[in-house]
Amino acid sequence: MALRTAGSVLLVFLWSVAVVLGQDGWSVTYTPQSICTLKGSTVELSCSYTYPSGTVTTTFWFTKNNAEGNPVSLSDDPDYKGRVTYHSDKKNVHTLTITDLRESDSATYKFRFITDQTGVRYTGDPGVTLSVTALQVVTTLHWSKRKTLTCSTTSCPLTGNPTYTWYKNGQIVTEKTSSYSVDSKAADSYSCAVKGHEDLHSPAVYKPKNTSVSVSPSGEIVEGSSVTLTCSSDANPPVQSYTWYKKNGGGYQSMTGPQHVFNQIQSSDTGEYYCEVQNEMGKDRSTTINMDVKCE
């Protein structure tokens, strides 16, 4: 028995060829026992079964029981509505297909069959453990002028030495291993995918951009009032550090944090301010904002 693929199916981690449990002629054989595949892909789980006598009237796959303790067929589970199909063939291969996989689909899937003999129902244990993962780009900085980008999964690792497709600003730049070296000052965005499954690429990583400063409350600023400066930026991974600067007589005063609060602002706080932000991909700075504090 072998696991078959359909559509954008990606099997990234599996072990065990088959599991056969049962007694007195009752058994379910799963192939394989554990699977890890990508979010958004399609997967097929297969099994076969044996029984000593009678006729099988009902077969289905399930992951959970209802309030009465009875297994709920995935075709009746609202979490899988429109995403599951069952198929069986003359060779006793029974296949569950799940499309548009979600990370919440990670579970143990079991096959159950019912015969025409009164009270005879059988569930195959231990089932198939399905793990659904996403791709991500992890950045490693070096003392040199290079940084290494690594395409990895958020949970189970890919096996089989797959080839990766790397994107720069949305365009394919190379096909290679999971690591990709770029200039440490590169201002581009990068993402990755497993070759052959480019529709399942990772979110792009990029240095901060569109950095801006806002002041609250807006309008006239009066000495003694409370004023907050806020630094905002678009970045992935998220901004790791914020640094505020006040231009003052040619020198700069640094204040850290995404916000700087003046609890009782003074006229001496009048001046031009800007913020600088940084993540693993690089730095960016805002334009200056002029804050004029009026005396009461």
Q: For the segment 250-283, what is each residue's pLDDT rounded down to a tens digit?
A: 677 788 889 999 999 999 899 999 999 999 999 9
pLDDT at 5 over 50: no
Whether residue 232 sits in one domain with residue 219: yes
The phi, psi pair for 269, rounded to 5°, reads: -85, -5
Query: What pLDDT sits at residue 143?
Result: 66
Residue 5 lies in a domain: no
pLDDT tens digits for 31-47?
888 888 899 999 999 99
Query: What pLDDT sits at residue 261?
Result: 93
Whether residue 144 sits in one domain with residue 36: no
pLDDT grade for 64, boundaries at 50, 70 and 90: very high
What is the rounded CA–CA span in Å between residue 85 and residue 141?
Answer: 46
Q: Which of 204, 221, 241 is the last residue before a domain boundary?
A: 204
- Residue 283's nearest CA partner among 209, 230, 229, 212 is 209
| Alpha-carbon distances, residue 222 vs 154, 187, 245, 265 (angstroms) | 50, 40, 21, 8
- Using DSSP, state whether 78 is helix, strand or coil: helix
In total, how many domains does the chain have? 3
By residue count, the chain amounts to 296
CATH of the domain at 185: 2.60.40
Whether residue 64 sits in one domain with residue 36: yes
Whether residue 56 sits in one domain with residue 148: no
Whether residue 285 sits in one domain with residue 198: no
Whether residue 121 sits in one domain with residue 25: yes
Which range among 29-33, 72-76, 77-81, 243-247 shows the weakest confidence by mean pLDDT?
A: 29-33
Query: What pLDDT sits at residue 254?
Result: 84
What is the rounded CA–CA span in Å between residue 182 and residue 166?
Answer: 11
Task: Give the predicted TM-score (pTM) of the model.
Answer: 0.75
What is the rounded CA–CA span in Å between residue 165 and residue 13?
Answer: 19
Query: What pLDDT sits at residue 10?
Result: 43
- Using DSSP, state whether 282 is helix, strand or coil: strand
Residue 6 lies in a domain: no
Q: Which of 156, 175, 204 is the last residue before a domain boundary?
A: 204
Return the residue matching tokens 């497993």. Answer: 194
Q: Which of 133, 160, 176 is the last residue before a domain boundary?
A: 133
Domain that holds residue 23: 11-133
Give 235: exposed, middle or buried? Use CB within 10 Å, 0-12, 13-18, 19+. Answer: buried
Residue 122 lies in a domain: yes
The phi, psi pair for 66, rounded to 5°, reads: -85, -175
Whether residue 230 sits in one domain with residue 214: yes
What is the rounded CA–CA span in Å between residue 12 and residue 133?
Answer: 10
Query: What pLDDT sits at residue 18?
Result: 38
Whether residue 195 sits in one domain with residue 145: yes
- Residue 121's nearest CA partner among 201, 38, 60, 198 is 60
Whether residue 109 sits in one domain with residue 147: no
Cis peptide before 78 (omega within 30 of 0): no
Residue 1 lies in a domain: no
Whether residue 214 sits in one domain with residue 289: yes
Whether residue 152 sits in one domain with residue 107: no
Which range among 9-13, 115-119, 175-179, 289-293 shows the weakest confidence by mean pLDDT?
A: 9-13
CATH of the domain at 60: 2.60.40.10
Whether residue 24 sits in one domain with residue 42: yes
Give 5: exposed, middle or buried? Use CB within 10 Å, 0-12, 13-18, 19+. Answer: middle
pLDDT grade for 157, boundaries at 50, 70 and 90: confident
